[in-house]
Structure 1
C-alpha cells in the first residue's frame, strides 16, 4: 500500500518529533553520512569529463528520486510511520516559521560564522557533527535569504514555465539548454550570479551554508526541498501524460554527450535501476 508524503505544515507535533528522531538515529549509526558522501561523489558538473548523473543532466530528477527513496527506507526501518515531508517554498517563505522551528530543523546561522545554534541539528546539541564535507567545518551552517546580497525564494509564477513545458529535456542535455522541463526546474539559467539561479538552484542559494555545494545533504532541509522538487516532477507527469523522460536513446558516438548522460533504459549509477523504472512511483508513495 502506498504511503503519503505530507506538506511540512500538515505534520503534527508527534510526526515532527518522529521524523527528527529517525534522522538522528541514522546519523548516529553512520548511515546518514553515506548519503552525504554519495551526493558529493556524484556531483559532477557538465564542465568536467565523464558521466553526469546527479546534476546538469536529464537524470537530475530520477537520481534524486532514488536518493530520496533510499533515505526514506532507512528512516522507515527505524520508524515505519515516518515519510519525507515536503517544504513548499513558494508558500512558506519566512525565515522564522516552518520548517525553521526549534522542534524541526532549527533556525538560521549566527552572523559571525553562520553556525546553526538552535534545534536538534545544532552542533552544540551534540548529535549532528559533519563528518563528510567539502570543508573542515564540523557544524551545520545557514544564511537564510543571503544577508549580504539578499535574494527571494522562487514563486509559483517562477515554477510555471517549467511545469508548462511539455518536453522533458533537450540536447545537449546539460546546464545550457533553454527548453525542457528538467533544466527549467533544476534552475541553470543564462548570466552569472543570482540572476542565473532559478527554482531548485535558487532555493539552495537562498538557504546558503552547506546547502551550497556537493555536501548539501548535510543539512536535513535538503530532503524537504527535494521532496518538493520531486512533487513538481509528479505534477508535470500528470499534466503531460504522453511525454516521458528524455533522451529515450543514448547519444551516438559522434555526439559530444556520448557516454555523458543516462538514457531512459540505461542503468543510473550508482544503482541497478533505470530512469524508466523510476518514472511511476504511485505504488510506493503519493503526495498529500
Structure 2
C-alpha cells in the first residue's frame, strides 16, 4: 500500500526520486496532458451550467482521481514514488523546505516572476511551459504577493468541523464543507493557496507548477480527515440533480469513475498521519 508523506519529512533520496519522475513525465509528454485536462475543466465548469472538476460537489472526488492517475504515471517511471503533501498550515513561509533548491525551487524573480532556482527553473532546459495562458515559456511564481498569508490550522479546523458535505445550489455559493474547503466561501482554503503561489498556479494551467500536486494532495488529505471526523456524513447530492455529478454518476473525462468509487482512499493509498 502506497503511503503519502508530508514533504517536510522526505529524505534527500525521496525528494530526488520524486523530482526525477516528474521530469521524466514532462520529457515524455504525458505531464502536459494533465495540464491540458485541468485547464479544459476549469474553463468549462460554471455555476449555472455543467460543472465537474470545480465549483461543485465533485471537486473533491474529481481531484482525488486526477491525483491518483498522476501518481500512477509517476510510479510507471519509479515504483518507489508516491505523492507528498504540503501542509501549508505548518510550512507557511517563502523559505519553507518545499521551496528549496533541492526540491521545487523558490519564488520568481521580480521583473517577470520567472523561477530561477531548483530543478524546474527554465535555465535547466527541462521545464518549458507548453500549455500556457501567455507566451512566456518559463515557470512563474510570486509567493505571497497576491495574498499575504496562507490559511492557518485554526481556519482548517473550523472547516473540518462542518458536518454537511455540500448543499444546494451545489456551486460556488453553497454552504457546507466542500465549498468552504474549495474556497469560494468562508475562510477560503484551497483557492487562497493558489493565489498565494501566483504565476501559473493562479490560472487554469496551474498543474504547470509541480507545487499543484503537493497542494492538492493536502486538500485530499483534509477530505480524508473530514471523512474520519464525520463517519455518518457522506457525499451529496445522491441523485437527480441537474448539471452536477451525483453520487453514482460518471465523472468526465473518465468513462467508468463515479464519486462513490473515490470515497474510500484507503483502497489506493494511506497518509502518514
TM-score band w.r.t. shorter chain: over 0.9
Unaligned runs of 5+ in 1: 191-196, 252-257
1:225 alignment counterpart: 215
Please state if 1:4 is matched with 2:3. Answer: yes
Offset from partner CA, 1:40-90 (integer Å, 9 cap, x none): 0111342463x2111100000001100100000000000000000000000
1:203 matched to which residue of 2?
193
The structural deviation recorded for 1:96 is 1.3
Q: Equivalent of 2:246, from 263, 273, 282?
A: 263
- Superimposed CA distance per residue, residues 157-205 of structure 1 (whole angstroms, 9 cap, x where no aligned partner): 111222111110000000011x211001000037xxxxxx710000000
Structure 2: how far apart are the matches of 1:10 and 1:134? 34
1:181 corresponds in structure 2 to 177
Count of aligned pairs between the two proteins: 270
TM-score w.r.t. length of structure 1: 0.91
2:266 matched residue in structure 1: 282
Specify the alignment match of 1:212 in structure 2: 202
The answer as to 2:166 corresponding to 1:169 is yes
- Cα distance in 2 between the residues matched to 1:48 and 1:40: 19
**Aligned structure 1 segments of 4 or more residues deviating by more than 3 angstroms:** none
2:45–2:52 contact (8 Å) kept in structure 1: no
Are 2:72 and 1:63 aligned? no
- Report the secondary structure of 1:282's partner residue: helix
- Superposed, which structure 2 residues align to 1:126-165 within 5 Å? 126-146=125-145, 150-165=147-162
Contact 1:143 1:208 in 2 (8 A): yes
Deviation, 1:250, is 2.6
Aligned equivalent of 1:84? 83
User: Contact 1:250/1:263 (CA < 8 Å) preserved in 2?
Assistant: yes
Partner of 1:125: 124
Tell me the SS of whatever aligns to 2:270.
Answer: strand
Ranges in structure 2 where 5+ consecutive residues have no aligned partner: none
Q: Distance in 1 between matches of 2:225 and 2:213?
A: 18
1:98 Cα deviation after fit: 1.3
| Contact 2:148–2:196 (Cα < 8 Å) also in 1 | yes
